[in-house]
Amino acid sequence: MIELIENKSRKEHIQEVAEKLFREKGYTATSMRLLAASLGIEPASLYSHIKSKEEILETICFSMAAQFFNSILEIKNNTLPADTKLRAFILAHIKVVLNNINASAVFFHDWKHLSSPAKENFVEMRKTYEQEFRKVLKQGMDENTFKVNDINFTVLTIFSALNMTHEWYKSNGKWQSDEIGNKLADLLINGIAKK
């Protein structure tokens, strides 16, 4: 059986196929019947492994959130120059996005379909995570190496650039995660204009 060969539980398999479908069609437009058919089972059989459609969405969103937090855990308290630290943050963030390309697409597009209180928790976690990026921008201003007029605006723009990579990234393409992370860091830190 595939799930034994790949050493994955049936639940993990459901999760994985759901991520792919949710990414392609969107969470709301994906029916449990299609998910079941994609797994080769009857719709009712899904509910032996999962509680509800929304449970799948919650698992995606909170597992991704945990991965984002973990990815910067070892960087955030290091003593590093602001530009080095920001680049490390960007590389860590992009690695999580590109290693979980389906889940991150769902994470970015469909978190708003979470119910309360999951939705409020989600927004709160995102804010806490973004705070680490705010801190490093502040640090760069204090060190006089960054010129940032508006920290909030800059953080939002950085995340815009980082989080859209999932839309155009092809895993069979020529770029590795760190290459893309470095290109993004170069562009955001140094800009398009020649020095």
Q: Which stretch binds a second copy (CB under 8 A): 4-12, 88-96, 122-130, 140-148?
A: 140-148
Tokens matching residue 182: 């470095």
Helices 118-142 and 151-163, packing angle to 10 deg: 120
Chain residues that interact with DNA, rule: CB under 7 A: 10, 30-34, 41-45, 47-49, 51-54
What's the rounded Cα separation, in Å, for the pair 129 and 133? 7
Binding string, 7-26, against a second copy, x = CB under 8 A?
Answer: -------------------x
What's the rounded Cα separation, in Å, for the pair 172 and 168? 12
Of residues 1, 7, 112, 170, which one binds a second copy by CB under 8 A?
Answer: 112
Pick between residue 33 and residue 127 the one whose CB is nearest to DNA: 33
Dihedral class, residue 7 (left if φ above 0, else alpha if ψ from -120 to 50, else beta): left
Of residues 28, 52, 84, 128, which one binds a second copy by CB under 8 A?
Answer: 28
Residue 23: contacted member of DNA, a second copy, none (CB under 5 to 8 Å, by partner type): none
From the list 136, 113, 5, the residue with the least C-alpha distance to 58 is 113
What's the rounded Cα separation, in Å, for the pair 183 and 139? 22
Burial of 187 (0-12, 13-18, 19+ CB in 10 A): exposed
Q: Which stretch binds a second copy (CB under 8 A): 39-47, 65-73, 96-104, 145-153?
A: 145-153
Under the criterion CB under 8 A, does residue 170 sit at the interface with a second copy? Answer: no
> Site for a second copy (CB under 8 A): how many residues?
41
* Residues that bind a second copy in the complex, under the rule CB under 8 A: 26, 28-29, 83, 86, 109, 112-113, 137, 140, 144-150, 153-154, 156-157, 159-161, 163-165, 168, 180, 183-184, 186-195
